[in-house]
Chains A and B, each alone.
Chain A
Amino acid sequence: MLKMHKWIRLLYKCILVSAPLWLAVIISRLCLLYIVGEGYVGPLWSRNHTASAQDKEYDVLVLGDSVANSAYLPEVLSEKILNLAVAGSSTADGYYTLSNYLDHNPAPKDIFISYMDYHLKDDTIVWDVGNYIHKYSIEQNQEIYDAIDEYASGELSELISDNYWREVYYYKFYTPIKYSHALEYTLIENRPKRNKALYDSITRRNGRYSTITNQEYEIKEDVGYHSFYVSKFNEYYYRKILDLCSEKGIFCHLIKLPLPENSEFTKYYSTDVWDYYIYLLNGYDNVDFRWFHTRYSSEYFMDQYHLNNHGSFRSCRELKNRYTDVFNDSKKYSPDTLLAIDEDIAGENILSELLKWIDGKPYTIVFLDNNVDLGENYYMCLGWSEERDVVQLQIGDKLSETAVYYLSSDGRDFPKDITVEEVGNRGIMVNLSNGESCLLESTSEPGVSFAVIDNVNNTIVCQRESLFSDFKFSKIL
């Protein structure tokens, strides 16, 4: 009896001494979003939207890797699209994403799938990320284990780890071995605040989280594409996706996305691609394959494979035109979608592209032109249609002495809750009814200062300048 008492005392003390470990496990379990590194927020968002029933019903899903995640812009395509593509992933990840989603949600009508060649060629799976964010169940891990054993060309240790199951359980039980690094940096990097903001941004973008920049790719040399190959492991999961889609009556679109102009496709490569997809699609009547056999110029890419925001915008417009029956939303934009577009606009660096972003949407731009004489000339350079031309803005009772114009992208009158007033010689002040304001100052050289206003969310999206010389506008400053 005495000894039992000592055993209990010992146990209680052990638990007490190791309290930080238990606490770490509990925090990791309850607050995963707030502790993970930036790179995990996107996959975690995708996991959260597949592991539970969604309030909203989605008609279209996107599966794929980082190239797909950056290329499909839900804010351009449709409000009923969910971009579930995950960076670095292959068909195996895609299959479990879809399978998890269908376990909790009604089947969508269409699915778009895009993987880069290198993710199809090599036996890859972002297994560690998947387990880190608790995407895979134990049964799914068993399936992956068996599939690697059966179909992968390399050993399990090369592809994942020698200690497959040990690692699975490390993740499953949120052990500090896997999560202590995240916990250590949580407070130092203020991860809770940053991750929450990032998560909200991804929510507004319906899952798109990568490459929201317009950084341009500098071509150094041509890249040759000589052969196309899909590994057995990837094909196994490709077919599982197609089978699942057939079973659920989902139409599947396999899309090969555009590549930059320095990509050289040999005829063998083209033949390989077409032959493979003819072979893969054989027997499925719910699948089509489309190859954007176009090469965009390098300014639409941020590297050899990833479209930048301009590129994604362009490819989405093409996609939308091609699949009019799939992307047939009304032209009404929800406040959240407009907030996503606001982020695209805020990152825009070409004026004509900016105007394409806002075309037909509830935005107003106020321009301050430091040279009245430029007149029509540069508005033509903006590529603006005649239907929606800039209008000179009346400030107070009179027309402004400086050239102040506004542009209503959906053709409406100048909104009443925006007021513009001159601030001496400095420029003009743009005020919104909610108190938000910005000062547009004259540019030092010929050009325009402007502010973009989101009329629905009643917010100033950005305030920028663009200089005009040699009959064209410079990059937005």
Chain B
Amino acid sequence: MLFNSIEFLVFFPVAVVLYFIIPKSIRNYWLLICSYYFYMCWNPKYIILLMAVTTVTYLSGVLIEKYNNVNIKKIVVATSFIVNVGLLFYFKYINFAISVMERLLSTIGLKIDVPVFDVILPVGISFYIFQALSYTMDVYRNEVYAEKNPFKYALFVSFFPQLVAGPIERSKNLLRQLAQPGEFIYENVRNGLLTMFWGYFLKLVIADRCAIVVDRVYSNVVEYRGYQLIVASLLFTLQIYCDFMSYSIIAKGAAKILGYELMDNFNMPYFASSIKDFWRRWHISLSSWLRDYLYIPLGGNQKGKLRTHINIIITFLISGLWHGAAFAFIFWGLLHGCLQIIEDVFGPYTKGILEKLKISPQNRLLKVIKIIIIFVIVDLAWVLFRANSFSDAITVYRNMWVKDSFEVIKNGVFELGLDKNNWCILLIGIIVLFTSSLMRYRLINLCDWISSKTFIVRYLIYWSAMIMIMFSMDITGKEFIYFQF
């Protein structure tokens, strides 16, 4: 069930209204039923997988807490990891691994023909497995108590607003909140609805429009000229941000209506002034997961420069692989890892140069230049992420620098799948997004700002946004990009 589907627009109000009508004591059970139903809408049989992950991690939590022996605890944690990562590997990486193995063996002259496994990637598997694993680790580290109530724990793993595309919640945050069923608080519901409204705006008005251009260009990159490739890559940068952020925002809004607070998954990532900063702002729930459960256990930055860099590379390699079973994702992850190492290595030198030039690190112009440079680098890296193959990505990199006259650009931009009207709507959407980001940069909350306006201004804003969403409805139906991960 997509958040931008009619089914969800029927399901969600029914779920919410009944949630608040029924007695508090059974509200969590109702949410669990709703969450399982929500997941089963994709493929009912995969509910077994979700239940298996829940059962394994639930039992591991209970066992870790029960035994004081560290070795037993370690065995339990390892078992939980092996089972969960094994499931993830089977459903997500098995065919990729086979093809890699075949290729490697063929380089030494060995030919094997392993049949392809007929597996469909269960939606959201990477998200809920990571969420469940974080719980196991947290219990092992004594950061949370093991949850004794299996239904409450099952709800933590399957909480429908964030089940299929995050944020990857932590037990410290969500499980704790689930102890107390949500109350109907008018302000919460109102703000939640406004948050969801903003999410739909980002998805329908910006992301889905960008997708039209991006899909067209990336389906046949050799056909397109330099500026068209640049436009497409810029739009993909926007698309993936708006698409993913919109899901997180809708999830956050939906949870808020129910009385729960989910973590922020984005913090203006394209305003980052370094790659490290970008990863502090982009998909925060995943990067913090990787930091807490992979990078730091590997030693983080505490074991010397070389080890730090190796840890960074491993973390980003896993991050790339998490996004998908393809070399493009691995390269993309590695590229970000390498960029971060380069930053680390050259950081002190650039600092020295700035000191010599007497330029303060807080200089506004310097900050803007840094933001632009990081944006361009991130944008170029997204090409690897989006291109259908590595050779396509190389074609984009090679051809995007070919110059064209203004006349050619003016006409050619309308050959990318959007007419004047749609370009206008997209442009307005981008301006709105940029303005809201600037407001957030200045610590102004968009919802609060709108609420502070007069009735007429408020409703003019709502209706304009609603009209733009409406005019985007027939170009929708696209799944959220991050579902595939």
Contact = CB atoms under 8 A, between A and B. Distances in A.
A416 interface: no
Contact of A19 (B6, B463, B472, B473): B463
A192 to B, nearest CB: 18
Contact of A176 (B193, B421, B459, B470): B470
Interface stretch (B85-93, B182-190, B369-377): B182-190
B474 interface: yes
A1 interface: no
Contacts of B186: 6, 9-10
Nearest to A17: B462
A177 B476 contact: yes
Contacts of B190: 10, 13
Contact of A20 (B6, B463, B474, B475): B463
A7 B21 CA distance: 11
Interface in B428-485: 459, 462-463, 466-467, 470-476
B473 A176 contact: yes
Interface string A6-43: 11011001101111110010000000000000000000
Interface string A301-338: 00000000000000000000000000000000000000
A181 interface: yes
B453 to A, nearest CB: 14
A171 to B, nearest CB: 12
Interface string A164-207: 00100010000111111101110010000000000000000000
A398 interface: no
Interface residues of A, number: 27
A177 B6 contact: yes
B260 interface: no
Nearest to B461: A17
Contacts of A426: none
B270 interface: no
Contacts of B184: 3, 6-7
A411 to B, nearest CB: 54
Contacts of B459: 16-17
A119 to B, nearest CB: 27
A175 B6 contact: yes
Contacts of B474: 176-181
Nearest to B184: A3
Q: Which of B184, B462, B474 has the most CB of A within 10 A?
A: B474
Interface string B1-29: 00000110000000000000000000000
Nearest to A5: B186
Contacts of B472: 180
A349 to B, nearest CB: 32
A19 B472 CA distance: 16
Contacts of A14: 193
Nearest to B17: A7
B197 interface: yes
B46 to A, nearest CB: 18
Interface SS of B by simple majority: helix
A170 B466 contact: no
B193 A20 contact: no
Nearest to B186: A6
Contacts of A13: 190
A166 B473 contact: no
B470 A180 contact: yes
B421 A177 contact: no
Contacts of B473: 175-177, 180
Nearest to B422: A184
Contacts of A19: 463, 466
Given A17-B462, A188-B421, A166 B6 contact: yes
A170 B421 CA distance: 24
A3 B473 CA distance: 34
A390 to B, nearest CB: 51
B85 to A, nearest CB: 33
Contacts of A17: 197, 459, 462-463, 466
Contacts of B475: 181
Nearest to B468: A20
A21 B462 CA distance: 12
Contacts of A176: 470, 473-474
B6 A21 contact: no
Interface in B402-444: 421
Given A177-B6, A183-B471, A188-B421, A20 B189 contact: no
Contacts of B470: 20-21, 24, 176, 180, 183
A176 B469 CA distance: 10
Contacts of A185: 421
A297 B467 CA distance: 52
Nearest to B183: A3
Contacts of A24: 470
B309 to A, nearest CB: 49
Nearest to A3: B184
Interface string B186-207: 1001100100010000000000
Contacts of A6: 184, 186
15 contacts: A9-B186, A10-B186, A16-B459, A17-B462, A17-B463, A19-B463, A20-B466, A20-B467, A180-B472, A180-B473, A181-B471, A181-B474, A181-B475, A183-B471, A184-B471
5 tightest Cβ-Cβ pairs between the two chains A and B: A6-B186, A20-B466, A181-B474, A184-B471, A177-B473
Interface of B: 6-7, 184, 186, 189-190, 193, 197, 421, 459, 462-463, 466-467, 470-476
Interface of A: 3, 6-7, 9-10, 13-14, 16-21, 24, 166, 170, 175-181, 183-185, 188
Given A7-B184, A13-B190, 15 more contacts: A6-B184, A9-B186, A14-B193, A17-B463, A18-B466, A20-B466, A20-B467, A175-B6, A175-B473, A176-B473, A177-B473, A180-B470, A180-B473, A183-B471, A184-B471
